[in-house]
Structure 1
Amino acid sequence: MTSAPYKVPTSRPPGRPAHWSLALVVLAVVLALIGISAAAYYYALRPVTLRIAVGPPGSDDLKVVQALSQAFVASHGQIRLRTIQTDGVTASAQMIAEGRADLAIIRGDLSVPKNAQAVATLRKNVAVLWVPAAIKGKKSAAKITKVAQLAGRRIGVIGRTAANVDLLKVILQQYGIEPGKIDVVQFPITEAVDAIRSQKADAYLAAGPVNSKITSEAVAASTHEGKAPTFLAIDSAEAIAQNHPMYEASEIPAGAFGGSPDRPEDEVKTISFSHHIVARKDLSDTTVDAFTRQLFAVRQTVMKEFPLAAKIETPDTDKDAFIPAHPGAAAFVDGEEKTFLDRYSDFIWWGLMGLSAMGSVGAWFAGYLKRDQRSNNSTLRERLLDMIAAARRSDSTEELDRMQAEADDILRDTLQCFEHGAIEEGALASFNIALTQFHHAVADRRALLMNLSQNLQRAGSALRVTGT
């Protein structure tokens, strides 16, 4: 009996360490999840700096905004403010109209940019019309007691802004006084007191908060020899408010400007308008909501240093408001702020979709890595089947021992593939059948070779006996 000698394969198909490959995939997915979570956390909580336009330099509005900016930093809130100084409310409105500012302090009775929406009312201002007390021995206009009597008079307007002149014209127009029938002269704030003492006008107009220091000083300068100035009531305030929605009917409380006697002695009807904090319409609702919440959270702190902050009020959220409230500010005022899930549900949903996609890609990649192991194991199984035939033809036990050693290695590789999930139980069962058949073939061949060896030994012994 002869057969081709068994040849030990010089090399087997290389197997990739699947457990390391799978571990790297898992590690990559975990790191990606950590990175996504960190990015989402940073995005949600990162400080946002908003540019706010305010002016003019040295004004109370600017001082309030600067105080708010410092309070925002001290509170470690989500919003920070970067102040942009302008020449006044008109320039501030232009800044936000052109998109060069996120927020602005504007005057409600001026042209409001189309892209601006109210966030808060910074302060309310009243129009104050008065006639200085007569100075003994000097010509005066003390006999003026009504707005309608201002025709043909010289009226001094405190402040250089054209908006105050327009305000005066609105009031006079309601009383049928044409602009050409009066002489209007404007005085800078710093020169108002001297102008009043010098009687450079018959009557004066000032616009500002009820407790305005500028107005109080001007009224005080109009008091002579214990006689208080005459305050002119705007009795048609409600009519003016109906014709001009930017104005409201209001009152100046008795004694609002102090002094003795009280200035004024009785409540005086007038009109009012507001300075607003507005935001660009396209500014995120979440950002405006956060700004509004911080604004009213720090207001008490700022009031201690700057009392004017006490005048900050929530915006008018009615649908017919002259300046529509920004949805973010309206949500804060109406108690309809979005929860974390409301704000970031889309991000969470897309994140879950992304994770699902990453999981699918990871599963595909893991399967791709296991493909080599499956292919390698299939080759080893075919090799084992070839070894069954080779074992049945083997002529030596040494050759069978070598095949047995190789089968042990194949078994080890197959079990590793099964542990790593590269092959299923069905494939393992198939391999077990082949391995069992191989063991049977080796055992049968080994028994046959041993019988042949014993028979040859007996035959040799018999021949030696016969020969002798």
Structure 2
Amino acid sequence: MSAEAPTPHPEMPRRRTRVVKSNRTQILLFSILTLILTAAVVWGGRTWLRNSETLVFAVGEANGPEARFAARLATVLKNNSSRLRLKIVTNGDNAKALSQFDRREANLAILRTDARIPPRARALALLEHDLLLLISPNGKKIKTIAELKKKKIAVIADSESGAALVRNILELSDTPDAATRVQMAPPSSTFDQLFAGGFGAIVKIAHASQIVKDKSYEQSTRRGGFTLNAIDSAKAIARKYPAISEETVATGMLSASPAVPAEDVDTIGLEWLLVAQSKLSNTTVGDLARIIYENKAELALTDGFASKIEPAATDKDAFIVAHPGAAEYINDEIKSFIERYSDLMYVALAALSIIGTIFAAIYTKVTRIAPEKASQLATAILDVGERMEYATSLDALDELQDELEGILRGVVIGLRDGTISSDGLDTFKLGYEFVRDEIGLRREHIKRHAVQGHTQDEKVVVVKTAQSA
């Protein structure tokens, strides 16, 4: 009797691996990029706010007070970690430096108010006063300007501009003998020598800081003395010539013992101003003014120049109008960061809002993975249904049942977490119920065939037993 080999059951296909989509990686990358962009914006803003700016400072000769003051200022800016830097450009004299400033080749310069004022010059600080000392022999007082005009005058000053200034004040410019009446004194001349040389008056133009330190006045007083005269029409002269200012020689300023003058004396003078180009921003000039006024002691020169820095005149009728940036600092009207950049901030916020909306849309549409539709999971359920026909035992059916329940559990969790949308939920439900019912029918089929097979086996045993008997 030939025995037929049992037909083997086809092997159950492998379970399809389902790729679970998640936004976790994209969210992590987006967070990292956000941090990087935030750091870049902060760094860029800090760099922009602290970005160094180089200002060209035009000065006269290299050893002059203007150049030495500029060098001091450059050092102070560096020591205070200021964003401002100075490039000092020397010239043959201060007139050439002002010409460079007038050509807009320099941002800063120092001028005396009797110089030719560049139209775009705006005052930043008052560095020094020059006083006109009207001196006559001891006991010979000069009471009026009219009386002074009749005398031969020696001018002690740093340049020929001093003699021109005196001629202009005395209105001797058109007089034929003006050059002989008002002459520059020979270098190193003393008062006694000039008086002995036939001069009836001496006009000395000097820095107020130098006058205080000069001991020659005291020595001259002890040798025989001189007379310091007041300029009776100082106020009228200052009103007539805006470049000239009213000044006062304080008691004992020239000599403490004996006191010269014995009481305050009215005179006239000139001012040395630090000027800036009108086009410089208020922020730049305000920062520079703050550094200057907060570091006066470090800016004073050893010879006394700039030893008493004063605020520039902020009145609209000032001879040289103050730069708005300096005026804001002097008048304590410095705007806060928000006040200064409020308009820019509003524009920036509006732009950032628009840009943020655009990037959010891009993130949503491109980088962000949309929630998976419930209907798309019907494929996983149908996969369970396709493998069900290969299940030949109750254990295999139990595995498929667990897998089906796992898919259902995943959908419920996804609906709660938002990774799965409710779109197509009815389709998923229909597929789930269909496969679930099929598993139930398959389970009943396997049980029924198992009972029939057991009955047939018992019959075969009974027949074999009967045959053997």
Do both proteins adopt the same fold according to a TM-score greater than 0.5, normalized to the shorter chain?
A: yes
Matched with 2:269 is 272
For 1:211 and 1:105, locate their aligned partners in 2 and report how far apart those are by CA, in whole Å.
Answer: 17
Residue 23 (structure 1) shift = 0.4
The answer as to whether partners of 2:13 and 2:387 remain within 8 angstroms in 1 is: no
The answer as to whether partners of 1:381 and 1:434 remain within 8 angstroms in 2 is: no
Residue 26 (structure 1) shift = 0.8
Structure 1 stretch displaced more, 359-368 or 19-28: 359-368
Q: Does 1:209 align with 2:214?
A: no
Question: 1:42-441 residue pairs with structure 2 within 5 A?
Answer: 42-45=47-50, 48-77=53-82, 79-131=84-136, 146-149=144-147, 151=149, 155-159=153-157, 161-173=159-171, 178-183=174-179, 184-186=182-184, 191-193=188-190, 196=194, 199=197, 203-213=201-211, 216=214, 226-228=224-226, 230-231=227-228, 233-258=230-255, 262-264=259-261, 267-302=264-299, 307-346=304-343, 348-349=345-346, 352-353=349-350, 356-357=353-354, 359-369=356-366, 374=371, 380-384=376-380, 386-387=382-383, 390=386, 394=389, 396-397=391-392, 422-424=419-421, 426-427=422-423, 433=429, 436-437=432-433, 440-441=436-437
Specify whether residues 214 and 171 from structure 1 end up closer, same or farther in structure 2 by C-alpha distance, changes over 3 A only: farther
Specify whether residues 150 and 323 from structure 1 end up closer, same or farther in structure 2 by C-alpha distance, changes over 3 A only: same
Task: Give unpaired runs (5+ residues) of structure 2.
Answer: 1-9
Specify whether residues 402 and 47 from structure 1 end up closer, same or farther in structure 2 by C-alpha distance, changes over 3 A only: same
Specify whether residues 160 and 207 from structure 1 end up closer, same or farther in structure 2 by C-alpha distance, changes over 3 A only: closer
| Letter matched to residue 453 of structure 1 | H
CA offsets 1:143-184 (integer angstroms, 9 cap, x no match)? 9765334557654433454542442233112xx663433114
Residue 358 (structure 1) shift = 5.7
Residue 315 (structure 1) shift = 1.4
Structure 1 stretch displaced more, 108-117 or 207-216: 207-216
Residue 312 (structure 1) shift = 0.7
Other structure's SS at 1:130 match: strand
Q: Does 1:446 align with 2:442?
A: yes
| Letter matched to residue 126 of structure 1 | L
For 1:272 and 1:159, locate their aligned partners in 2 and report how far apart those are by CA, in whole Å.
Answer: 13
Other structure's SS at 1:118 match: strand
For 1:73 and 1:385, locate their aligned partners in 2 and report how far apart those are by CA, in whole Å.
Answer: 75
Residues paired across the two proteins, number? 450
Other structure's SS at 1:207 match: strand
Specify whether residues 306 and 231 from structure 1 end up closer, same or farther in structure 2 by C-alpha distance, changes over 3 A only: closer
| Letter matched to residue 208 of structure 1 | A
Q: TM-score, normalised by structure 1?
A: 0.75
The answer as to whether partners of 1:250 and 1:270 remain within 8 angstroms in 2 is: yes
Task: Give unpaired runs (5+ residues) of structure 1.
Answer: 135-141
| Letter matched to residue 441 of structure 1 | D
CA offsets 1:113-143 (integer angstroms, 9 cap, x no match)? 2322212111222223334569xxxxxxx79
For 1:274 and 1:463, locate their aligned partners in 2 and report how far apart those are by CA, in whole Å.
Answer: 135
Other structure's SS at 1:234 match: coil
Other structure's SS at 2:204 match: strand
Specify whether residues 240 and 213 from structure 1 end up closer, same or farther in structure 2 by C-alpha distance, changes over 3 A only: closer
CA offsets 1:381-423 (integer angstroms, 9 cap, x no match)? 241364476478x364478678668758867986897698554
Specify whether residues 177 and 290 from structure 1 end up closer, same or farther in structure 2 by C-alpha distance, changes over 3 A only: closer
Other structure's SS at 2:310 match: coil
Specify whether residues 218 and 415 from structure 1 end up closer, same or farther in structure 2 by C-alpha distance, changes over 3 A only: farther
The answer as to whether partners of 2:121 and 2:278 remain within 8 angstroms in 1 is: yes
Residue 214 (structure 1) shift = 10
Q: What's the C-alpha RMSD, in Å, of the aligned pairs?
A: 4.5
Specify whether residues 466 and 345 from structure 1 end up closer, same or farther in structure 2 by C-alpha distance, changes over 3 A only: farther
CA offsets 1:425-456 (integer angstroms, 9 cap, x no match)? x3596687367426523532333432552465
For 2:417 and 2:117, locate their aligned partners in 1 and report how far apart those are by CA, in whole Å.
Answer: 69
Other structure's SS at 2:364 match: helix
CA offsets 1:242-297 (integer angstroms, 9 cap, x no match)? 22222222333344322876544554432222111122222222222222222222
Residue 460 (structure 1) shift = 5.0
| Letter matched to residue 207 of structure 1 | I
Other structure's SS at 2:208 match: coil
The answer as to whether partners of 1:92 and 1:106 remain within 8 angstroms in 2 is: no
Structure 1 stretch displaced more, 397-406 or 253-262: 397-406
Q: TM-score, normalised by structure 2?
A: 0.75
The answer as to whether partners of 1:50 and 1:79 remain within 8 angstroms in 2 is: yes
For 2:249 and 2:190, locate their aligned partners in 1 and report how far apart those are by CA, in whole Å.
Answer: 21
The answer as to whether partners of 1:158 and 1:205 remain within 8 angstroms in 2 is: yes
For 1:415 and 1:154, locate their aligned partners in 2 and report how far apart those are by CA, in whole Å.
Answer: 113
CA offsets 1:324-358 (integer angstroms, 9 cap, x no match)? 22222212222222123223445654554565456
Other structure's SS at 1:212 match: helix
For 2:427 and 2:240, locate their aligned partners in 1 and report how far apart those are by CA, in whole Å.
Answer: 95
Specify whether residues 53 and 197 from structure 1 end up closer, same or farther in structure 2 by C-alpha distance, changes over 3 A only: farther
For 1:241 and 1:6, locate their aligned partners in 2 and report how far apart those are by CA, in whole Å.
Answer: 114
For 1:103 and 1:413, locate their aligned partners in 2 and report how far apart those are by CA, in whole Å.
Answer: 75
Structure 1 stretch displaced more, 397-406 or 17-26: 397-406
The answer as to whether partners of 1:418 and 1:428 remain within 8 angstroms in 2 is: no
The answer as to whether partners of 2:23 and 2:369 remain within 8 angstroms in 1 is: no
Specify whether residues 19 and 245 from structure 1 end up closer, same or farther in structure 2 by C-alpha distance, changes over 3 A only: same
Structure 1 stretch displaced more, 122-131 or 250-259: 250-259
For 1:192 and 1:441, locate their aligned partners in 2 and report how far apart those are by CA, in whole Å.
Answer: 127
For 1:457 and 1:339, locate their aligned partners in 2 and report how far apart those are by CA, in whole Å.
Answer: 96
Other structure's SS at 2:176 match: helix
